Amino acid sequence: MRLQPFFSLVFFVFHVGLLAVPLFLSAHNMLWDEAFGLSLWSMPDVIADILTVLVILCAIFLFVRRLARAEVRILSGIWDYCIILISAAPFVTGFLAYHQLLDYDLMMVLHVITGELLLILIPFTKLGHMMLFFFTRSFIGFEMGTRRGARSW
């Protein structure tokens, strides 16, 4: 983080937007309420738009960074590039559908399909770190702190 503060900021904004928009967007909140009877706090549409655009820009940055930096490119396979595109696709299609910049019906169908594809791929790809984040941090902290005597932070 200290060595690459801009990358850290982009990475943080990307992940916050990736979680906050699907959970707290008012249109998604209505679907949560209909399906599960669970209504979360809804963010204003302007904030959702800003976060959506930031997620898309961050995804572009992360994609280009993988192409441009040799030390990242050498570790990246085709699937790493696909994951970034698949992660950004629901945001692009949702934004286009909401603002009706292209055919609304087509964008909504693509939005649902890409969103479901993203959810389906979570357990089978590196996207699984979403669910395993706290377990991983706890395990690394235990490994480094307790067993090896090093601080995990």
**Does residue 138 lie in a domain region?**
no
Closest by Cα among 81, 71, 83, 79 to 114: 83
Question: What is the pTM for the complete model shown?
Answer: 0.82
CB 39 within 8 A of CB 33: yes
- Could you tell me which residues are beta bridge partners of residue 43? 25
CA–CA separation, 66 vs 74, rounded Å? 9
**Does residue 120 lie in a domain region?**
yes
**Does residue 92 lie in a domain region?**
yes
CA–CA separation, 115 vs 94, rounded Å? 9
**Does residue 110 lie in a domain region?**
yes
- Count of domains observed in the chain: 1
**Does residue 150 lie in a domain region?**
no
Range of the domain at 65: 5-127
Give the per-residue pLDDT at 127.
76
Query: Picking from 30-34, 67-71, 131-135, which range would have the lowest pLDDT averaged per residue?
Result: 131-135
Give the per-residue pLDDT at 149.
55
- Provide the 8-state DSSP code for 43: B
